[in-house]
Structure 1
Amino acid sequence: MEKRGAIFFLFSIFFWSDTFFLSSWTYVNASLYNISAVFAFGDSTLDTGNNDNRNTIFKANHPPYGRDLPGHVPSGRCSNGKIMPDFVVSLLGIKDFLPAYLDPKVTDLDLITGVSFASAGCGLDSFMGPLYNFTYMSTQLDYFKECLNRIKKRFGATNIVENALIIVGAGSVDMFNYYDLHVRGVQYSVSSYHDLLLQNLDPIVQHLYKMGARKIAISGLPPIGCVPFQRLLGAILPIPKLPNYGCVDQQNYDSQAYNAKLQDLIRKWKASLPGAKFAYADIYDPLMNIILNPNKYGFEVTNRGCCGTGWVEMGYTCISTTPICSDASKYLFWDAIHPTQAGNQMIANSLKETVLPQLIN
């Protein structure tokens, strides 16, 4: 009897500690932002390690990725340290890192305050899916449903989504493919391809809304023409212009055109989906501001990455034997495409100022 009593006592402590955890997090965050969790969907800018166990070239679970994380251990994040969603949950006072849903170490308690479903290489156009082997957006939504069922089954919680911040970020990979592989360019003009991507984005948002999402931030495109890899290609194609590694202006104009269309779509969602709050997450301006005025923001190098030459290295070509810059905090980009931890923090700080006021009650 004493043994049974001890077991019951320990179970009671565990049960009530979970209940207290739930209520205390809800209280703390409701008093600040009324956001109790963050769920992320999209590409490598939001992937905190979901690709680690996939057979794909889009992986960052090897050194030197993660060099500036605690323990200097690569985590699948495409950076030297934290990425944007990690800073978002930290700024909200929820937790220090946003874990990957497919991380075997993720617990049901982790799910309560949010996870990332994003997959590096993912886009809004599934055309390259079979080659890249990313997790499709539709599959990310399936994982989200599975996640919510786990939360409901374990804790009986049904309002997690209503008080959660939903971040959707995709489209950049599609445009890289459009410019660099030229396959879609045979079928679509830039403008019509933008329309295709946004047509594919609409049912994703509609599905999230049906699942209860009410605070949704949608990321626009960055200044794609200023990404180091695009600078390099822009300098050598179609007519070599080396060593001119300036931004590809036309690609930046295209990014702005897409972002304008996205903002129009967001306005339509606001008008047609009652009870939901939407925000356009501007990535373009914060990055461009740093590129044009690096010293103002504490950066020294904005035209190439910290890893290797900084022009082509990414994923499996950014490895432990690749020369690395001594201080990544002075670089805007970590590899040829992805921002450093410092760059991600600047983006997150900007989103805190521009996005959260549109979503909080």
Structure 2
Amino acid sequence: MEQKTTVLFVLLFSLASFLSLPIPTTASPPVSAVFAFGDSTVDSGNNNRLPFTLFRSDHPPYGRDLPNHVPSGRFTNGKLSTDFMVSRLGLKDLLPAYRDPRLTDRELLTGVSFASGGSGLDDLTLAVSKATSLGRQLEEFDEALGRMRRTVGEKNSSEIVNNAVFVISVGTNDMVFNLFDLPVTARKIEFSPSGYQDFLLRRLGSFIQNLYQRGARRFQVAGLPPIGCLPMQLTISSIFNGLRRVSVEQQNTDCQAYNTKLQGLIPRLQASLPGSRLAYFDSYNPILDMFNNPSKYGFVQTHKGCCGTGMVELGPLCGELSLTCPDPSKFLFWDSMHPSQAAYKVLADISARTVLPILTA
């Protein structure tokens, strides 16, 4: 009788212990794909197929540090942040361009970039750059969805999109073309700097809503970098500044104001889009820290790009005959506007620590 009592006690104790365990919550599905939209910071080579744009990088010395050392159309010496992202997620080594004729339907399933160098939120930006608008990028995403459905079916395609990360990086060209670099523009006449920021953010919010309607749920939305620290901006400002190459503080202040508004917009958008997760990616402070504290990141030059003189070379001006620095990893910028692969790696690492946990928790 005593033995039966002991066995019963053990069983009851085990049952009570089991019932007291915390109930596991359902973890978010792993990231299925990465889809990128915006400008040259995430363009993997879509501009290679644009006949009228000056913003192309499908020629040496661009791409010199890619695995095959061949220019792919990325506006840097090697990989972009989105390339490091898909590699870290175990999806693929590089995020391909949607317009790459070699892109297969199977490769499309794990992500692609629709971005276009020179693109922006403002139609007037596109009139100058002749890049692919965000509206057209959205149309190309619709085309991609059709290809995906034909490959894996409606249900599987929807699951891929629902569990993908959508990276949006845009706005720099709008500010440079319409607010900063020309003394008089149509937008300067129409808007104050604050009003123009609001105009751009309305466009951005609408674009995110359009992606959401197509099944997107996870968004990484990049803020503006410190535009006043880009080598091209240092060069332009030096003309009026005794040739001193220093950051343009007013431009940086305007970028900070835009970013503050964007950080306020993101939670409002998320609240209006059930089931969505939106995370702000801060590119401003990391780039500014790299600019001001180069040795912390292994850089020796932050005021000039690696290509040519580093002061004005960009796109066609950074060409096959341009001299380049011997070690781009020591440079914050590759050309007069775009970060080096080393800088993109820093930004990708920060994204992995600060954004992906929010989107995958």
Q: Which residue of structure 2 aligns with residue 179 of structure 1?
A: 180
Please state how far the C-alpha of 1:241 moved relative to its aligned partner.
1.9
Q: What amino acid is the match of 2:358?
A: Q
Distance 1:343 1:307 in 2: 15
Would you say the 8 A contact 2:310–2:335 is kept in 1?
yes
Q: Which residue of structure 2 aligns with residue 203 of structure 1?
A: 206
Would you say the 8 A contact 2:29–2:163 is kept in 1?
no
> Aligned to 1:338, what secondary structure does the other structure show?
coil
Q: Could you list the runs of 5+ residues in structure 1 that have no partner in the other structure? A: 1-29
Bigger Rg, structure 1 or 2: 2
Q: Which residue of structure 1 aligns with residue 319 of structure 2?
A: 319
Q: 1:281 to 1:125 in 2, by over 3 A?
A: same
Distance 2:242 2:87 in 1: 42
Would you say the 8 A contact 2:301–2:330 is kept in 1?
yes
Q: 1:126 to 1:277 in 2, by over 3 A?
A: same
Q: Are 1:136 and 2:139 matched, yes or no?
A: no
Residues 67-112 of structure 1: per-residue CA shift (max 9 Å, x gap): 1112210000000000111011111121110000000000001111
Residues 13-34 of structure 1: per-residue CA shift (max 9 Å, x gap): xxxxxxxxxxxxxxxxx99971
> Aligned to 1:51, what secondary structure does the other structure show?
helix
Q: Which of 44, 65, 77 is the aligned partner of 1:80?
A: 77
Q: Which residue of structure 1 aligns with residue 348 of structure 2?
A: 348
Q: Could you list the runs of 5+ residues in structure 2 that have no partner in the other structure? A: 1-25
Higher mean C-alpha deviation, range 291-300 or range 115-124: 291-300
> Aligned to 1:167, what secondary structure does the other structure show?
strand
Would you say the 8 A contact 1:33–1:92 is kept in 2?
no
Q: Which residue of structure 1 aligns with residue 90 of structure 2?
A: 93
C-alpha RMSD over aligned residues: 1.4
Q: Which residue of structure 1 aligns with residue 195 of structure 2?
A: 192
Distance 1:46 1:357 in 2: 21
Distance 2:29 2:83 in 1: 17
Q: What amino acid is the match of 2:33?
A: A
Q: Which residue of structure 2 aligns with residue 264 of structure 1?
A: 264
The total of aligned residue pairs comes to 329
Please state how far the C-alpha of 1:53 moved relative to its aligned partner.
1.4
Provide TM-score, normalisation by structure 1: 0.89
Distance 1:167 1:117 in 2: 10
Q: What amino acid is the match of 1:159?
A: E
Would you say the 8 A contact 1:124–1:174 is kept in 2?
yes
Q: Which of 105, 110, 116 is the aligned partner of 1:108?
A: 105
Q: Which of 59, 64, 69 is the aligned partner of 1:67?
A: 64
Distance 1:143 1:100 in 2: 11
Provide TM-score, normalisation by structure 2: 0.89
Distance 2:265 2:122 in 1: 17
Residues 35-87 of structure 1: per-residue CA shift (max 9 Å, x gap): 01000000000000000011210000000000111221000000000011101
1:1-361 to 2 correspondence within 5 Å? Answer: 34-55=30-51, 56-156=53-153, 157=156, 158-177=158-177, 178-181=179-182, 182-183=184-185, 184-236=187-239, 240-361=240-361
Higher mean C-alpha deviation, range 127-136 or range 300-309: 127-136
Please state how far the C-alpha of 1:197 moved relative to its aligned partner.
0.3
Distance 2:175 2:192 in 1: 12
- Percentage identity across paired residues of the two chains: 49
